A and B are shown apart, each in its own frame.
Chain A
Amino acid sequence: GQQLNQSPQSMFIQEGEDVSMNCTSSSIFNTWLWYKQDPGEGPVLLIALYKAGELTSNGRLTAQFGITRKDSFLNISASIPSDVGIYFCAGQIIQGAQKLVFGQGTRLTINP
């Protein structure tokens, strides 16, 4: 099936630093979603992107839908301890058996 390449796989940063992660694919998506998942819990939607080129912010989070529709990035500014967790990108494809494809996740660890 379709694959999303999410990078980096893990990040170790200091509190207050900015964070950037991205997802790329060889497939075109019509929707990009970014989720955060805490241990033992389901993913929580952070940002949804519906148009190529769209740049959307949610507090300290900013995400963009790539112009080619094959990539997206998520930035977190001024990280705080509660940002710790695993971040997933997800792309909804236009056609095919799988309606929502997920990246492998980026594990964010913050040193206070």
Chain B
Amino acid sequence: KAGVTQTPRYLIKTRGQQVTLSCSPISGHRSVSWYQQTPGQGLQFLFEYFSETQRNKGNFPGRFSGRQFSNSRSEMNVSTLELGDSALYLCASSYKILRDSDTQYFGPGTRLTVL
């Protein structure tokens, strides 16, 4: 079974631009969560989508948004990029919604650099 895939793997943008990242979960998984990883803050939860609905959201500004499609694929969008948005963005999928204690499997991440 193929793992979680994320595209693109690397991205360079400038301040003020917007970016869209894509995640394809493991086949059959319906929950997709997004995380931001930086050296200073570590791994932080952004949001979770299940059955095309956002189920939970971490403490990030409204510039960070996402959506999930009927095939469970998910996209994350960051508008008006700031230097501090430079990070590794990780997507993780699971069969059940997170509150049901299902195990998540992570993708390789998208490395975003904001100049």
Residues of A that sit less than 8 Å from B by CB: 1, 30-31, 33, 35, 40-45, 48, 50, 88, 90, 92, 97-105
A-B contact pairs, 26 of them (CB 8 A): A1-B58, A1-B59, A30-B101, A33-B104, A35-B106, A40-B88, A41-B108, A41-B109, A42-B6, A42-B88, A42-B107, A43-B106, A48-B103, A50-B101, A88-B43, A90-B43, A92-B98, A97-B57, A97-B58, A99-B48, A99-B98, A99-B99, A100-B35, A100-B104, A101-B45, A104-B42
The docked-state distance in angstroms from the alpha carbon of A88 to that of B42 is 10
Residue of A nearest to B105 (CB): A45
Give the nearest-CB partner of A101 in chain B: B45
Asked if A31 meets B45 with Cβ closer than 8 Å, knowing A42-B107, A99-B33, the reply is no
Chain B residue with Cβ nearest A99: B98
Q: How far is the CB of B103 from chain A (nearest CB, A)?
A: 5
Q: Which chain B residues border A42 with CB–CB below 8 Å?
A: 4, 6, 88, 90-92, 106-109
Contacts of B56 in A (CB 8 A): 97, 99
- Mark each residue of chain B from 16 to 56: 1 if its CB lies under 8 Å from any CB of chain A, else 0: 00000000000000000101000000111100100000001
| Distance in angstroms between the alpha carbons of A101 and B35 in the assembled complex | 11
Compute how far the CA of A98 lies from the CA of B34 in the bound complex, rounded to whole angstroms.
12
| Chain B residues, CB < 8 A from A43 | 43, 90, 106
Query: Whole-angstrom distance between the alpha carbons of A10 and B22 in the complex?
Result: 33
> A100 touching B42 by the CB < 8 A rule?
no
Across the A-B interface, give the 6 residue pairs with the lowest CB-CB distance, nearest first: A42-B106, A102-B43, A99-B98, A48-B103, A42-B109, A43-B106
Closest-CB distance, B64 to chain A (whole angstroms): 14
Residue of A nearest to B56 (CB): A99
- With A1-B59, A97-B59, A99-B99 in contact, is A45–B42 under 8 Å at CB? no
Q: Give the chain A neighbours of B45 by CB distance below 8 A.
A: 98-101
Which residue of chain B has its CB nearest to the CB of A44?
B106
Q: Which chain A positions have C-beta within 8 A of B48?
A: 99
Task: Map CB proximity to A onto B68-110 as digits: 1 under 8 Å, 0 otherwise.
Answer: 0000000000000000000010111000001101011111110
